[in-house]
A and B are shown apart, each in its own frame.
Chain A
């Protein structure tokens, strides 16, 4: 199998040029998908049987939760690539993705809590899903804190890679043990909305929102990675040319 495509990622310059071409498309896709998905979910989808209109928070809560988990998976994969192939771009991806993932985890928790008030009567409930999300947020904080604490840039990246991997291995274990813990203390498990019973005009906007959030994440990640690449490669001639070109108009 031809692996040149993989090794191209070793070149920051190639990445910068490719991402520069994708970025506008991803940005536009994100805006369109989010606008359509959220507007549809807010205004056009029918209300849910028991929760009426408060369930519309699902169009924010579920995509944010998906993204928070996918982002950590991305960080773990970037960690493996960084440790095994020593690809610097993977280092950049991991550390730039972490804050975005943490914010989305936060959004998932806050929207879940706000949703909880009209649904269960309380803002916070220690159910399996919210508790797992909270633990995931702590895992994010750990990676971010470790990256900030180590001053040597490459050591910090490697340490975050190890931590992200250890965390990723633990996530399934944590999930199962939290679900188990939940069954111990709450005899009846509460399902928020049976996804199987969602009609098409309820889950289609959800799908579109999820895609919109993914495009949003990709856009923001690429933006952050591009800036970090410029910083790291500041002595390269292509970067100097780029900086001159971008600030050529303004003085």
Chain B
């Protein structure tokens, strides 16, 4: 571990705000790119299943 303490880790040698905002924004973007397709898939499957059931009934 390079840093002596957790406080030092957060501070990043007084560049903490920069490092953490960059990492934070990136992780949000990565998460969005995973979550949105998953939600879209779920929504599509639900709608499509409903549509197929309706067609079966006819």
- List residues of A whose CB falls within 8 A of some B CB: 38, 42-47, 52-54, 56-57, 60-61, 64, 100, 103-104, 106-107, 110-111, 114-115, 117-118, 216, 219-220, 223-224, 226-227, 230-231, 234, 240, 243-244, 246-247, 250
Interface centre among A53, A220, A246 (most CB of B within 10 A): A53
Whether B48 pairs with A223 at a CB distance below 8 angstroms is: no
- Tally of contacts, chain A with chain B, CB under 8 A: 93
Do A60 and B41 touch (CB < 8 A)?
no
Q: For the side of the interface on B, what is the size category?
A: 20 to 34
**B15: contacting residue among A43, A52, A226, A230, CB under 8 A:** A52
- Pick the contact of A118: B15, B23, B37, B48 (CB < 8 A): B15
Nearest chain A residue, comparing its CB with the CB of B55: A240
Instruction: For the complex formed, measure the closest distance between the CB of A120 and the CB atoms of chain B, giving whole angstroms.
Output: 12
In contact, B30 and A115 (Cβ under 8 angstroms): no
Within 8 Å CB of A250, what residues of B? 46
Contact of A56 among B12, B25, B45, B52 (CB under 8 A): B12
B33-56 to A contact mask, C-beta < 8 Å, 1/0: 110011011001110110010000
> Given known contacts A43-B3, A57-B18, what 17 new A-B pairs fall within 8 Å (CB)?
A38-B23, A47-B2, A56-B19, A57-B19, A60-B22, A103-B29, A103-B32, A107-B25, A111-B25, A114-B25, A115-B22, A220-B33, A223-B37, A227-B40, A231-B44, A247-B46, A247-B49
A100 to B37, CA, bound (A): 11
- A207–B19 alpha-carbon span in the complex (Å): 19
